[in-house]
Chains A and B, each alone.
Chain A
């Protein structure tokens, strides 16, 4: 790999830009292809498909076999509520490859002591979530227990393409939440996107165990895996 290619790849990763690396296997020649590139060559088109599907592949071209590796921008997790469960969840999600942001307007909760190294946004959750422009590679989890904060995050989350929306709270809390959102104008299809009570039923008790159950559920939705 030529030094300029590696340096550009690292810059793109640091800048969180999606990029595909095409390697001509017979010659070792390498090139970078971006989703915004307008090129209509067969290779550029294949690279865009690989990026969209987040899946590396080897393709046959007129010039021989080309391996396309995919370096998408990182998955993101937005957590509404700088509560106790958010601490292990932020850590575990980071190890799993997520860029984590915690949103909580309560400055006593959202402190650097409680969340070392984690991005904190002390805004109201609807504004905070909207500002971060969640996309199809973003998961959103609400943990505040406070309808004012959770519902604000949810109303913005439900209008986004986020692949996962999860809400902490008992079945009773969740039923009341769905009722409020229904009154706010959300239909069945929108409400069916919400995972609540959040997480897989693994009998989690401690904040760390609950974080595991949430991350496991997020993973199963992301990868389309069956939960047994």
Chain B
């Protein structure tokens, strides 16, 4: 039985297969963010991912950004928060705000 939290190992395994991979990490949280700073998500170039940076609220958006970053190689610090006026925007329903650092695994 294994600890389910093996994000870095999965990132390295995908990279080892020759796939483009990005790593997203929560760096800062405000309010009731669902996952603490340090939480990670590994993203495969084809859109598969393991781990989490929220309770499922923003993973979709992070995966799309991560796919861009796999292409460009330039890391980005993304910010997500509540979006009352534009409820269709990607946001955190819990009212929290988080920053997510996304980098390519070289």
Q: Which A residues fall within an 8 A CB radius of B?
A: 1-3, 6-7, 9-10, 13, 23, 25, 28, 55-58, 67, 69-70, 74, 90-91, 94-98, 117-118
Contacts and interface: CB of A to CB of B under 8 A. Distances in A.
Nearest to A94: B1
Nearest to B22: A1
B27 A94 contact: no
B3 A94 contact: yes
Contacts of A97: 3, 5
A5 B101 CA distance: 17
A56 B38 contact: yes
B75 interface: yes
Nearest to A66: B27
B37 interface: yes
28 contacts: A1-B103, A1-B104, A1-B105, A1-B106, A3-B15, A6-B11, A10-B8, A10-B12, A13-B9, A23-B25, A23-B103, A25-B101, A28-B103, A55-B37, A55-B38, A56-B26, A56-B37, A58-B37, A67-B101, A70-B38, A74-B3, A90-B1, A94-B1, A95-B3, A97-B3, A97-B5, A98-B3, A117-B1
B71 interface: no
B5 to A, nearest CB: 6
B39 to A, nearest CB: 8
A2 B25 CA distance: 15
B105 A58 contact: no
A9 B8 CA distance: 8
B32 interface: no
A94 B28 contact: no
Contacts of B105: 1, 3, 6
A81 B2 CA distance: 21
- In terms of DSSP, what is the predominant structure of the interface of chain B? mixed
Nearest to B11: A6
B23 interface: yes
Nearest to B77: A25
Contacts of A56: 26-27, 36-38
Contacts of B36: 55-56
B4 interface: yes
Nearest to A74: B3
Nearest to A70: B38
Contact of B12 (A7, A58, A67): A7
Given A1-B23, A23-B101, A56-B36, A6 B12 contact: yes
Contact of B25 (A67, A74, A95, A96): A67
Question: Which among A6, A9, A58 has the highest number of chain B CB atoms within 10 Å?
Answer: A6
B37 A57 contact: yes
B63 to A, nearest CB: 17
A10 B1 contact: no
A6 B23 CA distance: 11
Nearest to B104: A1
A70 B36 CA distance: 12
